[in-house]
Chains A and B, each alone.
Chain A
Amino acid sequence: MTRTNLMAGTILATALSAVIATGAAAQTELSMWYHGAGGEVESAIINRIVDDFNASQDDWAVELQSFPQGSYNDSIIAAALAGNLPDIIDVDGPVMPNWAWSGYLQPLPLDESVIENFLPGTKGEWNGELYSIGLWDAAVAMVTRRSYLEDNGIRIPTLEEPWTREEFDAALVTLEETGEFQYPLDVGMAWTGEWYPYAFSPLLQSFGGDIVDRESYATAEGALNGDAAIEFGEWWQSLFERDLVPGTSQDPADRETGFVEGKYAISWNGNWAAVPILAEYGDDTLFLPAPDFGEGPVIGAASWQFGVSATSEHPEGAAAFIEFALQDEYLAEFSDGIGLIPATPTAAEMTENYAEGGPMAVFYELSEEQARLRPVTPGYVVAAKVFEKALADIANGADVIDTLDAAVDEIDADIERNQGYGH
């Protein structure tokens, strides 16, 4: 290319971009990142919401960039370090306080009345302010087949009367003794990462323990290594010692297909995995509430939510988009598309699975009645990692008390190094 050619090219490019810019001048561009890359149904829905929004008004034009979920958080952190965040981001519920405290997010200017009917797990509140809001929640239940329980004379638990610890243990032993299954229960040890605190810390809470002390958020002492936690730890270890559940070396493929293939009698699993199971077993499928280990049955709350980045110059535009996305129509569509629990009862009524009498309606009730948020603190990110390792170690036979004590030490040291995380 000669120099004149190059010049001409530059001028052309500048002129061209100027034309495009003036063409869209009426709408201010808002960038948005979302974790759904690779999920076709999910991408289609979010794209439609964006298109609908852009067409619905003349002020804002949302520009969507999708990321694969597995690396989404790392991408966000790197972008934040580089000062390169978009206007709208989505954030996993329990991580939100960390991002808010770190200054990635600003409070979400959304009117209270817009979200008053939303499930509690969908509201991302920290330090008395709303930072994020979810279009859905997720819930965990014990998935099994009615026939497995009935054939072995095991009582089918209900929301009002869940299994007690003794009943649950007895059920597992009974199922084990049938010899029909590789393991009577699968809790998904192959799903490392956020699954551990999400799925297993509620069990600890039902025993009366917790990951950190929620009164002060200044220590894990007593919560994670108190008597209740030790009792939980010993029960947890016994599951693996008695060969009732597959351990940390579980093949991820078995986690996904083991229940449908009949290797496991009960699967502790999220509602997003329920659709293929329903397809396989139909009416025989049962979604059971978590057992009551003493302090009532508990499951984890909060899934992905939308928020506005701290660096956004147009929070009102970002909020306008988020509010637009919160319409029942879209909540229902997401639910039908990927199996998640719609955030409002009116949206639930519009869905196939969660409408009154629908096959997964039980999840809505679970979410409403038993769901508890993971510790709402910026320190959660580290505490969750420590908790994950402790549970894996205990499952592999480490001394329960020592492991929990060490986990407490590590969490406390981290809180101290972060000057209390602003609590």
Chain B
Amino acid sequence: MSRSRLTQSNRAGWAMALPGFGLIAVFIILPFFLAFGLSFTNQRLISPNPTEWVGFDNYRQLMGLGVLTLEPERDEAGAVIRDEDGAIEYPRLRGFTRGNPDYAHLDGMREWLSWGWGEDRVVVLARDVVFMTAIVNTLTFVLVVAPVQAAIALGLALLINQRLRGINVFRTIYFMPVVVSIVVVSLLWRFIYDGNDGLLNNILSALSFGVFEPVDWLGNPGTALPAIMAMSIWQAVGFHMVIWLAGLQTISPTLYEAAEIEGSSRWQTFRYVTWPGLRNTAVLILIVITMQAFALFAQIDVMTGGGPLDSTQTIVFQAVERGYGKQDISGGSTISVLLFLLVLTISLIQRYLTRERS
């Protein structure tokens, strides 16, 4: 490297980075390693019982999966028994998962997914169905929220990056939801999403001249997570707009002038001037949103508590619910470690996909 002599400086480098790194080491990395250690024990938050090493027990407890193929119940003649509606009857799962020595590996598991396979029924069992649901919900949340929020934020940033009288007022207003704590926002939106006489239902019903049937947004397993997604995007989009805006402002105006002189269209300007100039910002935003989305907790805690029917369980909510609510600090720590590994994997993939193509 040609510049290495100019910028080579071991001592100055360490000296400048040390305060920042040192604080992170003491207050984030050290506790994380403590949590990592706890995840191999049976430590309770509070307990007179001694702590014991349990190896990978906590991990098995959370991640254990199994598959079972159920054959239909047959009568003496060997014909399949059906109930009144004609549905095939199967033996009860609990017969296999509770104290059945022939199926010891399934002991304590519950049904997570199942589907028909001819007359048989294939059941995927999980040792911790709620946690599995939490993983799926969290991933869904991330996959929807990250791109949508980033795109809307960029749109808003472009919209308010124009020279108009009073544009600062709008800039401030778009940022407003961000300044209100997410806990507070969640409280306010509970009123809006109310199933009986909530504002959203009333507005939709007015707009559709009464055709719209009121929906119990947070009380319905199908709409609860989307409702929380919409609110989360709404709440945080202003912040990402500001980051995009900061990025937009690092693009040199001379580039725009050049583009204008060459007579490029607005799309071309965006495609060849704006977007390349936003590369680092884009990476930043994608990562920030992804991290924030994975940490989804406060909204759930205030609005649904994971329900209805686990449709809004998330990984961090489960970690807190276990670590604090159920005083199972080793279980909660195990979830933190699993979350860490999951996000690490994803960010490595993300990094691979967004790598510089030179």
Type the 1/0 row for B177-210, where 1 means its CB is closer than 8 Å to any CB of A: 0000000000000110011101000000000000
Are B326 and A385 in contact, with the CB atoms below 8 A? Answer: yes
Which one of B45, B217, B220 contacts A77 once the chains associate, using CB atoms below 8 Å? B45
Chain B residues whose C-beta falls within 8 Å of the C-beta of A397 in the assembled complex: 309
Chain B nearest CB: distance from A60 CB in Å?
28
A248, CB-defined interface residue at 8 Å: yes
Chain A residue, CB-CB nearest to B221: A396
Chain B residue, CB-CB nearest to A388: B305
Chain A residues whose C-beta falls within 8 Å of the C-beta of B218 in the assembled complex: 249
Stretch of B46-54, B64-72, B256-264 that contacts chain A: B46-54
A102, CB-defined interface residue at 8 Å: yes
Type the 1/0 row for A187-228, where 1 means its CB is closer than 8 Å to any CB of B: 000001000000000000000000000000000000000000
Interface residues on A, range: 35 or more
Chain A residues whose C-beta falls within 8 Å of the C-beta of B326 in the assembled complex: 381-382, 385, 414
Chain B residues whose C-beta falls within 8 Å of the C-beta of A101 in the assembled complex: 48
Which one of B42, B94, B310 contacts A417 once the chains associate, using CB atoms below 8 Å? B42
Given contacts A249-B195, A249-B216, A418-B47, is CB(A413)–CB(B307) below 8 Å? no
A82-131 residues with Cβ-Cβ distance < 8 A to B are 98, 101-104
Type the 1/0 row for A53-94, where 1 means its CB is closer than 8 Å to any CB of B: 000000000000000000000100100110000000000000
A251, CB-defined interface residue at 8 Å: yes
Are A396 and B196 in contact, with the CB atoms below 8 A? Answer: no
Are A418 and B309 in contact, with the CB atoms below 8 A? Answer: no
Are A382 and B327 in contact, with the CB atoms below 8 A? Answer: yes
Chain B residue, CB-CB nearest to A247: B219
Are A409 and B221 in contact, with the CB atoms below 8 A? Answer: no
Chain B residues whose C-beta falls within 8 Å of the C-beta of A422 in the assembled complex: 48
B31, CB-defined interface residue at 8 Å: no
A178, CB-defined interface residue at 8 Å: no
A398, CB-defined interface residue at 8 Å: yes
Are B48 and A102 in contact, with the CB atoms below 8 A? Answer: yes
Are B307 and A393 in contact, with the CB atoms below 8 A? Answer: yes
Which one of A103, A253, A396, A398 contacts B191 once the chains associate, using CB atoms below 8 Å? A253
Chain B residues whose C-beta falls within 8 Å of the C-beta of A21 in the assembled complex: none
Complex Cα spacing A252 to B191, Å: 9
Are A192 and B305 in contact, with the CB atoms below 8 A? Answer: yes
Which one of B47, B216, B306 contacts A102 once the chains associate, using CB atoms below 8 Å? B47
A405, CB-defined interface residue at 8 Å: yes
Are B108 and A77 in contact, with the CB atoms below 8 A? Answer: no
Given contacts A102-B46, A249-B195, is CB(A74)–CB(B324) below 8 Å? yes
B295-330 residues with Cβ-Cβ distance < 8 A to A are 304-310, 321, 324-328
Complex Cα spacing A280 to B47, Å: 47
B44-102 residues with Cβ-Cβ distance < 8 A to A are 44-49, 94, 98
Which one of B190, B309, B328 contacts A251 once the chains associate, using CB atoms below 8 Å? B190
Chain B residue, CB-CB nearest to A396: B308
Chain B residue, CB-CB nearest to A409: B108
A46, CB-defined interface residue at 8 Å: no
**Dominant secondary structure at the A interface:** helix
Chain A residues whose C-beta falls within 8 Å of the C-beta of B321 in the assembled complex: 385
Given contacts A253-B191, A418-B49, is CB(A413)–CB(B305) below 8 Å? no
Are B44 and A418 in contact, with the CB atoms below 8 A? Answer: yes
Complex Cα spacing A251 to B193, Å: 9
Chain B residue, CB-CB nearest to A395: B308
Which one of A81, A382, A393 contacts B309 once the chains associate, using CB atoms below 8 Å? A393
Interface residues on B, range: 35 or more
B110, CB-defined interface residue at 8 Å: yes
Type the 1/0 row for B25-47, where 1 means its CB is closer than 8 Å to any CB of A: 00000000000000000101111
Complex Cα spacing A406 to B109, Å: 9
Are A249 and B308 in contact, with the CB atoms below 8 A? Answer: yes
Chain B residue, CB-CB nearest to A392: B307
Chain A residues whose C-beta falls within 8 Å of the C-beta of B110 in the assembled complex: 402, 406, 409
Chain B nearest CB: distance from A85 CB in Å?
12
Chain B residue, CB-CB nearest to A258: B196
Complex Cα spacing A419 to B49, Å: 8
A182, CB-defined interface residue at 8 Å: yes
Complex Cα spacing A397 to B219, Å: 11
Chain A residues whose C-beta falls within 8 Å of the C-beta of B111 in the assembled complex: 402
Chain B residue, CB-CB nearest to A183: B196
Chain B nearest CB: distance from A13 CB in Å?
29
Chain A residues whose C-beta falls within 8 Å of the C-beta of B309 in the assembled complex: 393, 396-398
Are A248 and B108 in contact, with the CB atoms below 8 A? Answer: no
A228-242 residues with Cβ-Cβ distance < 8 A to B are none
Complex Cα spacing A249 to B94, Å: 31
Given contacts A249-B219, A251-B191, A385-B326, is CB(A77)–CB(B307) below 8 Å? no
Chain A nearest CB: distance from B123 CB in Å?
12
Complex Cα spacing A251 to B187, Å: 10
Complex Cα spacing A5 to B308, Å: 63
Chain A nearest CB: distance from B1 CB in Å?
49
Complex Cα spacing A81 to B220, Å: 39
Chain A nearest CB: distance from B312 CB in Å?
11
Are B308 and A80 in contact, with the CB atoms below 8 A? Answer: no
Are A248 and B308 in contact, with the CB atoms below 8 A? Answer: yes
A-B contacts, 9 of them at CB < 8 A, read A251-B190, A251-B191, A382-B327, A392-B308, A393-B310, A398-B309, A406-B110, A413-B108, A414-B328
Q: Which positions in A face B, CB cutoff 8 Å? A: 74, 77, 80-81, 98, 101-104, 182, 192, 247-249, 251-254, 381-382, 385, 389, 392-393, 396-398, 402, 405-406, 409, 413-414, 417-419, 422
6 new A-B contacts, CB < 8 A, other than A249-B216, A392-B308, A393-B307, are A253-B191, A385-B325, A393-B308, A402-B111, A405-B94, A406-B110
